[in-house]
Amino acid sequence: MTAVLDTAPPPPRPGALPPLRLGALTVDPAVVLAPMAGITGPAFRTLCREFGAGLYVCEMITTRALVERNEKTLRMVRATTEEHDAFSVQLYGTDPATVGRAVEMLVDECVAGTRPAHVDLNFGCPVPKVTRKGGGSALPWRRRLFADIVAAAVRAARDVPVTVKTRIGIDPEHHTYLDAGRIAADAGAAAITLHGRTADQLYSGTADWSYISRLVEAVDIPVLGNGDVWEADDALRMVAETGCAGVVVGRGCLGRPWLFGDLAAAFAGSAQRALPTFGEVAAVMHRHATLLADEHGEAHGCADFRKHVAWYTKGFSVGSEVRRALAMVSSLDELAGLLARVEDQPYPTAVLGAPRGRTSSPRPVALPEGWLDDRDDPRPPAGAELEVSGG
């Protein structure tokens, strides 16, 4: 069974958005797959690339684990054959020296199997195990430390473009995005991505794109918008409302890798959008599981695929028995047999534009003791990278 969904757009009208330029790298269309833990490994990146468009970033890589040559991390950072011209890595780090060394390993030693075309720095992660150590979306509050990390990465990367991803701030009283944008630009970053939420919002509520507009006005490097891009028309609206140079898509593509075909069409000026039948979705599901099986072995690959089942089947009439069996699938033949039991049906348009993936309630951000006291303290937070080492 192979992916047969036809997303080829008709001849485009004049482009709705020009290509994104990141140093010598051209991203056309200006669409980036956001790193998602446990999701954006080689299989999912390959599948998204097959539907076409933009830049596809691997799962977040911990710089300490990379420098220590952690075996799991070295596997995670390997490029596929198809990615050799545009492999993109996102790094998490809190110590300038360690971040610089990690970038050197990627650029000079090619530990990913190829020299990356792009390096992104994560300053947007809001999860407590990261922020309580001063990392992720907590770190830009310490302006000097943030500047030192970005500068170290840019120096080590040389001609490879370095970008930064961040959030509005820690909470409504502690915004960081404007300082982060200006500092990143001064340090030589090629672009900055802004998720339109504060860290205390996690993934709750609605992303506020007005902050993306303000950042566009404040810096002279490209700003990419992130947050609540569920459909291609959301991306068009984000660009129109904010003036951003491109979009970064995360949860919106879960169970819908063909969204990248829609985005490519939209930014080429085409109104074509994919509404695959269940039979076409089933072919994509089997292709996804096959890629995972090729990567991890059939048993492990099928087990890893299980988390994607609910996203792919959202809104379809599948039946509780088949749905339960799909969530416990253990072989490709079993998957094919179960999918064949589901009657073909039109795409459930009721789910279009609806949130996908993780949701959460707002909660106070866990921070190191005294973290908010001195914004110009340049010292790395103690133990922050060791806390999340191993990938």
Distance, first Cα to last Cα, the chain: 33
What value does the mean pLDDT take over residues 342-363?
93
Distance separating alpha carbons of residues 167 and 180, to the nearest angstrom:
9
Hey, what's the torsion of the CAs at 73, 42, 281, 341, to 10 degrees? -70
How sure is the predictor about 388, in pLDDT bands with cuts at 50, 70 and 90? Answer: very low
**Residue 13 above 80 pLDDT?**
no
Q: What is the pLDDT of residues 268-291, one digit of tens each?
A: 999 999 999 999 999 999 999 999
Confidence of residue 85 (pLDDT cuts 50, 70, 90): confident
Q: Is 36 annotated as contributing to ligand binding?
A: yes
Region of 169 please: left (phi>0), alpha (psi -120 to 50) or beta: left
38-81 pLDDT per residue, tens: 999 999 999 999 898 689 899 999 999 999 999 999 999 988 88
Per-residue confidence (pLDDT) for residue 354, from 0 to 100:
92
Structure tokens given for 214: 């303000």
Query: Binding residue per annotation — 16?
Result: no
Q: Does 201 show up as a binding residue in the annotation? A: no
Distance CA 292, CA 272 (A): 30
Q: How far is CA 264 from CA 105, 152, 256, 294, 340, in A?
A: 33, 34, 14, 28, 31
- Cα 96 versus chain centre, distance: 23
Q: Mean pLDDT of all residues in the chain?
A: 92
Which segment of 11-20, 91-100, 124-133, 233-242 scores lowest on mean pLDDT? 11-20
CATH of domain 20-274+362-387: 3.20.20.70
331 has a pLDDT exceeding 80: yes
37 known member of a binding site: yes
Q: What pLDDT digit, counting tens, does each position of 174-196 carry? A: 999 999 999 999 999 999 999 99
Residue in this structure with the two tokens 């609206």, named with its chain if needed: 237
DSSP class per residue in 322-344: HHHHHTT--SHHHHHHHHHTSPP
Which tokens hold the place of 164?
A: 């930064």
Q: Of 7 and 104, which is predicted with more confidence?
A: 104
- Residue holding tokens 């073909």? 344
pLDDT at position 11 is 43
Is 368 labelled as part of a ligand binding site? Answer: no
- Region 305-309 average pLDDT: 97
Q: What is the structure's pLDDT at 8?
A: 47
pLDDT value for 15:
52
What backbone torsions phi and psi does residue 55 show, to the nearest 5 degrees? -125, 140
pLDDT at 385: 64
Cβ atoms within 10 A of the Cβ of 16, count? 17
Q: Does 165 show up as a binding residue in the annotation?
A: yes
Q: How far apart are CA 80 and CA 59, in angstroms?
A: 14
Token duo for residue 268: 């080429």
Helix 332-340 / helix 278-296 crossing angle, nearest 10 deg: 170
Name the pLDDT band for 5 (thresholds 50, 70, 90): low
Is 175 marked as binding a ligand? no
Residue spans per domain, the chain: 20-274+362-387, 278-346
Distance, C-alpha 283 to centroid of its chain: 24
Q: What is the pLDDT of residue 1?
A: 44
Q: For residues 224 and 175, what is the distance between their CA atoms, to the nearest angstrom?
A: 18
Look up 125 and say whether it is catalytic: yes
pLDDT at 391: 40
**Secondary structure element (H or E) that encloses residue 89, with its range:** strand 88-92
Catalytic residue among 58, 125, 253, 302: 125
Distance CA 176, CA 78 (A): 33
195 is in an annotated binding site: yes
Q: Is the pLDDT of residue 390 over 50?
A: no
Confirm or reject CATH 1.10.1200 for domain 278-346, answering yes or no. yes
Which residue matches tokens 């490519």? 264
